[in-house]
Amino acid sequence: MNPYVNMTVGAFLATVFVLMSISIASEGIFHSPAPEKEGFAIVAQEEPAAGGGAEAAPAAVPIAQLLQKADAKAGETVFKKCQACHDGAKGGPNKVGPNLFGVVDRPIASHQGFSYSAAIKDFSKAGAEHWTFDHLDHFLIAPKTFIKGTAMGFAGLKSDTDRANVIAYLRTLADTPVPLPDANAPPPATN
């Protein structure tokens, strides 16, 4: 037999032996048992299995009542979460999401130059639906639950106070802010 083949096979076997020995030794030295309790448990909210849009759980307190105590300055701070995808300046650019100047009571899916998802376009009923205070409230609770199929990846604002403050701030982003709704009026039915 060829001596070079014997040396090559011997070198290969010696390398495998050394690597396996190192692996066994390092497992014994650096072994760490699994922790009894996970350090960070990630809990994801499950979406309902089927259904159309506009099925977000209704807010416990109507937005008309929450807006009476809302603080637009605090809403501006919360709105910073939105600025990665939305601009609020008059004449500002569309980003990942549309510009939000004048969004309160604007027809849904109507901002010029933005390509809306089919779900938002369907929900808008060709511009017949507007971003009312109630629509904004329900959408901001859980966008993907309120309008199934929306491309908006935001998880939502669960805090009534944060939502009301953001909506109060969005209301100020207009040449003429929309009047606040009557706190004593019954909330309108959502779609």
pLDDT tens for each residue of 164-188: 999 999 999 999 999 988 877 766 6
Residue 15 sits in the same domain as residue 88: no
Q: What is the CATH number of the domain that holds 100?
A: 1.10.760.10
Report phi then psi at 130, rounded to 5. Answer: -115, 160
Q: Are residues 15 and 71 in the same domain?
A: no
Same domain assignment for residues 84 and 26: no
- Per-residue model confidence (pLDDT) at position 151: 87
**What is the pLDDT confidence band of residue 44, given thresholds at 50, 70 and 90?**
low
Residue 90 within a domain: yes
Q: What is the number of structural domains in the chain?
A: 2
Whether residue 101 is found in the same domain as residue 162: yes
186 found inside a domain: no
State how far the Cα of 184 lies from the Cα of 64, in Å rounded to an integer. Answer: 8
pLDDT value of residue 153: 85
* Total Cβ atoms within 10 A of residue 111: 17
Co-location of 23 and 67 in the same domain: no
Say if 141 falls within a structural domain: yes
What is the per-residue pLDDT across 114-162, written as a single tens digit (0 to 9) for each?
Answer: 999 999 999 999 989 999 999 999 999 999 999 999 888 888 899 999 9
Q: Which domain holds residue 81?
A: 63-172
Same domain, 116 and 68: yes
- Quick one: 158 and 100 in the same domain? yes
User: Both 26 and 79 in a single domain?
Assistant: no
- Confidence label for 102 from pLDDT (cuts 50, 70 and 90): very high
Q: Is residue 142 part of a domain?
A: yes
Span 84-93, average pLDDT: 92
Distance CA 65, CA 86 (A): 26
Closest of 68, 66, 45, 62 to residue 154, by C-alpha: 45
155 and 85 belong to one structural domain: yes
Q: Where are the beta strands (DSSP E) in the chain?
A: none
Tokens encoding 128 = 């017949």
| 101 neighbors 111 (Cβ within 8 angstroms) | no
DSSP string spanning 53-66?
Answer: S--PPPPSS-HHHH
pTM of the model: 0.67
